[in-house]
Structure 1
Amino acid sequence: MAGKTQKIFFASNIKFLRERRKLSQETLASALGLTRAKLAAIEAGNTKSPQPEDYLNFSDFFKISIDTLLKIDLSKLGELKLRELETGNDVYIRGGNLRVLAISVDKSNNENVEYVPVKAKAGYMAGYNDPEFIAGLPKFSIPNLPTQGTFRIFPSVGDSMLPVPEGADIVAQYIADWTDLKPDTPCIVILKGQQDFVFKLTTLNEDGTIRLKSLNPVYEPYTVEAADVMEIWRFYAYTSREFPEARSEMETVLAAIKSLEQRLGQMEKD
């Protein structure tokens, strides 16, 4: 019995991506070393068997894997997913453009929980996907962690996330698929270049950018491009040497009012 024929979207995807980039056929053909006539034939589906180097050239130019170009109808994807693909988050890529997380394991093949001290920040940003660098970080065993997932410890710096104090150690879980993030999820976000680790309430916007918001109202929220983010780690717990301060009377009254407002709002809905 013959297998089901796989539909191929290569021709329509090339046209879609070219028009998305606002490129003429002549401009794209020139960039790829093709004639305009050959590109037109590829986009029209009149070339049933493009050469292997053609697939590679299109994949390299658009930064999207050959498998995706062949198997996925890109025109049906939302803007957020398209931006994710264009910034290297392609589930079919098996190479440098896919976010790769290096881990280390103990003698029982269980993942370690590595600690990234402040002095190792620069090295981490350069070697975050280097197994040797990760293996050299301090390692800790933390009880009651979920058995699934990868965890790491990052020290908090500054007062932007008060009441979580500066110097607290944040235990966080690695997020591979950023679209799983709920709005205002507290996360450690690793930024590229000469930027820093930040601990913020993190929201993935519809346009593919990432909004970072502090708990401390003194600091204004800001937005970064997804391409400027190396890793995102969801907050799990924190430890601190600072003893928490007791609530003031005013804070207690305000909390009681807020709780009452929430109950009244729920009663109105019911």
Structure 2
Amino acid sequence: MTLIAKNLKHLRHLKRLTQEVLAEDLQVTRSRISSYEEGRSAPTLEFLIAVSDYFKLPIDILLRNDLTKGQDASFIEVGNQRVLFPITVDSDNENLIEVVPVKASAGYLAGYDDPEYIEQLQKIKLPFLPTGKHRAFPIKGDSMLPMKPGAYVVGRFVESRLDIISGRTYVLITKNDGMVYKRVYNHIDTQNTLRLVSDNTTYEPYDISIEDVLELWEFTCSINTQEYDEQELKISSIIQMFNTLGVELKALEQLVK
């Protein structure tokens, strides 16, 4: 069975439509829907355009991706006729997330909107994640201490810029800076910008236009690939970290003097 045949049948089932209802909505015969779903004939270009408009999915997605891997029909529209598959599952119906490897992170900016590129990313299972579409990104540098270089941040895709919460950390895919992980302050209403702040205060904050943000992923959890040594975990570092997050630890400071 071809991908388009599988996808057409899958999408119809997700929408709980009979072949008769779908045929009526697309203004074709039921036998034509049946023929396409069973792979007995290839759909015409006009039919593919109609299906694309009906299910709000690009034709490229319908032809080149196995949509049966998605749990539901709530594909995330990100503009410019591209979508993000919210959830993929394994053979045991467990949720999977894509992992952007370190070697491929430089190419993510070029491939983030290419379904074939995303499809080829390795996938892992993290059963404790909350609901939503998640992806894991490699973190480089020391701007977000105590995050160690080589760590991965797992982020939940932010569908609406209205959902950005000031003070939380996000992985941003930007036109000019590529992939960055920063604490974000939302100034969209007043300046149409986001202020990006590093937890390591040796790095200066800077502003970025919301128009330059291609994707935004809110921090869910992190995965460290290196062990911390004793010096990295000394009490002064912990106090500094919590103070940066706005937590008052004066009592604790008095205890360690």
TM bracket (short chain): 0.5 to 0.7
Contact 1:189 1:229 in 2 (8 A): yes
Matched, 1:258 2:241: no
1:121 is paired with a residue whose SS is helix
- Alpha-carbon distance, 1:135 to partner: 0.7
173, 177, 181: which one pairs with 1:190? 173
Offset, 1:125:
1.4
Give the counterpart of 2:140 among 157, 176, 180: 157
- Moved beyond 6 Å, runs of 4+: 252-257
Structure 1 position 202 matched with structure 2 position 188: no
Equivalents in 2 of 1:174, 1:103: separation in Å?
Answer: 9
* Change over 3 Å in CA distance of 1:104–1:137 after alignment to 2: farther
Tell me by how many angstroms 1:177 deviates.
Answer: 1.1
The sequence identity of aligned pairs, in percent, is 36
How far does the alpha carbon of each residue in 1:224-246 deviate from its partner, in whole angstroms, 9 at most, with x for none? 11111110101111111333344
Letter in 2 for 1:244: Y
Deviations 1:44-73, CA, capped at 9 Å, x for gaps: xxxxxxxxxxxxxxxxxxxxxxxxxxxxxx
Give runs of aligned pairs for residues 26-41 of structure 1, distance below 5 A: none
Q: Which letter does structure 1 place at the counterpart of 2:196?
A: L
Cα distance in 1 for residues equivalent to 2:126 and 2:168: 22
Task: Decide whether the 8 Å contact of 1:188 with 1:199 is kept in 2.
Answer: yes
Find the aligned partners of 2:223 and 2:113 in 1 and give their Cα distance. Answer: 26
Specify the alignment match of 2:207 in structure 1: 223
Assess, with a 3 A threshold, how the Cα gap between structure 1 residues 96 and 238 changes in structure 2: closer, same or farther.
closer
Q: Given that residues 99 and 135 in structure 2 are in contact (C-alpha distance below 8 angstroms), is that contact kept between their aligned partners in structure 1?
A: yes
**Contact 1:201–1:212, Cα closer than 8 Å, also in 2:** yes
CA RMSD of aligned residues (A): 3.0
- The equivalent of 1:131 in structure 2 is 115
SS of equivalent residue, structure 1 residue 112: strand
Structure 1 counterpart SS, 2:248: helix
Query: In the TM superposition, what whole-angstrom CA distance separates every residue of 1:166-185 from its partner, at most 9, and x where no partner exists?
Result: 11011111111122122121
User: Quick one: structure 1 residues 105 and 163, their matched pair in 2 at CA, closer, same or farther if it must change by over 3 Å?
Assistant: same
| CA–CA separation in structure 2 for the residues paired with 1:116 and 1:253 | 32
Shift of 1:158: 0.6
Between the aligned partners of 2:162 and 2:128, the Cα distance in structure 1 is 26
Residue type of the alignment partner of 1:123: G
Query: Residue 158 of structure 2 is aligned with which of 156, 172, 175?
Result: 175
TM-score normalised by the chain length of structure 2: 0.56
CA contact (8 A) 2:90 2:96 kept: no
From the two aligned structures, give the one with the greater strand fraction: 2
Distance 1:250 1:95, change over 3 A: closer
Deviation for aligned residue 1:107:
4.8
Structure 2 residue aligned with 1:166, among 128, 149, 152? 149
Q: Per-residue CA shift, 1:198-234, capped at 9, x if unaligned?
A: 1100122032201110000110000111111110101
Q: CA–CA distance in 1 between the matches of 2:113 and 2:94? A: 18
Mean Cα deviation higher: 244-253 or 196-205: 244-253
Any gaps of 5 or more consecutive residues in structure 1?
A: 1-93, 263-270
Q: Structure 2 matches for 1:60-79, cutoff 5 A? A: none
CA deviations over 1:7-38 (Å, ceiling 9, x no partner) = xxxxxxxxxxxxxxxxxxxxxxxxxxxxxxxx
The answer to whether the 8 Å contact 1:104/1:131 transfers is no
- Greater Cα radius of gyration, structure 1 or 2: 1
SS in structure 2 opposite 1:200? strand
**Which residue of the partner structure matches residue 18 of structure 1?**
none
